[in-house]
Chains A and B, each alone.
Chain A
């Protein structure tokens, strides 16, 4: 799951996977802005067939937050 999510982030943001770790912060470390963030959220929704609620987006700050969120949704 972790590798899959990192790979998807790298592909959507067009950055090397090596730049992304579990504790990487999307905004502070990768410089994501709103459009990138929504693009990423839409990619996760498509890949995992889940809905990420608008109110939850602000809580997805690190790669680990995303992994935990998707794992929880997939249960």
Chain B
């Protein structure tokens, strides 16, 4: 089960503190060696992403990763991070952006960020991403429990 928060013009820290304060868990915040924040008491998992001017936060009862990106196309990045099969499927800016947020949400779920190697995330083999389009942005969520909590 997860819950997604999207806010405009707030920093990641502000949104995180605001939501964690309502859950009364903000004092347990720690970071792993790759900089991924997590809670010492492991009942709540969360992940944050930022793309000006939006910040997104997901809270879950299981490990989770999220990424938001404004719709764009970066040829050099595509060549660097996509497999040959993935490249064949990228025809539009939307295709590229969805591919990017999938890869990012996955490495953020794993907790090692770019060090994992985005090319190692084969989005044609990994399923179960949640993809949401929000204005000119795409959001991908990857985790162990991807049922969205009712608002």
Where the two chains meet, the residues of A that have a C-beta atom closer than 8 Å to any C-beta of B are 31, 33-35, 37-39, 41-43, 45-46, 54-55, 57-58
Q: B50 an interface residue at 8 Å Cβ cutoff?
A: yes
- In the complex, residue of chain A having the shortest beta-carbon distance to the beta carbon of B51: A33
| Among A33, A35, A46, contact of B74 (Cβ-Cβ < 8 Å) | A35
**What residues of chain B have their CB less than 8 Å away from a CB belonging to chain A?**
34-35, 50-52, 67, 69, 72, 74, 76-77, 79-81, 100, 104, 113-118
Residues of A within 8 Å of B74, CB to CB, are 35, 38-39
The residues of A that contact B114 with a CB separation of less than 8 Å are 34, 37-38, 54, 57-58
The reply to whether B115 and A58 form a contact with Cβ atoms under 8 Å apart is yes
Instruction: Return the contact of A35 from the options B77, B115, B116 (Cβ within 8 A).
Output: B77
* A-chain residues with CB within 8 Å of residue B81 when the two chains form the complex: 38
Partner of A42, one of B52, B67, B80: B80
- CA A54 – CA B113 in complex, angstroms? 10
Q: Give the distance in Å from the alpha carbon of A34 to the alpha carbon of B106 in the complex.
A: 13
Min Cβ gap B11→A in Å is: 11
25 sampled A-B residue pairs with Cβ under 8 A = A31-B52, A34-B67, A34-B104, A34-B114, A35-B72, A35-B74, A35-B77, A35-B100, A38-B77, A38-B81, A38-B118, A39-B74, A39-B76, A42-B76, A45-B80, A54-B114, A54-B116, A54-B117, A57-B114, A57-B115, A58-B34, A58-B35, A58-B113, A58-B114, A58-B115
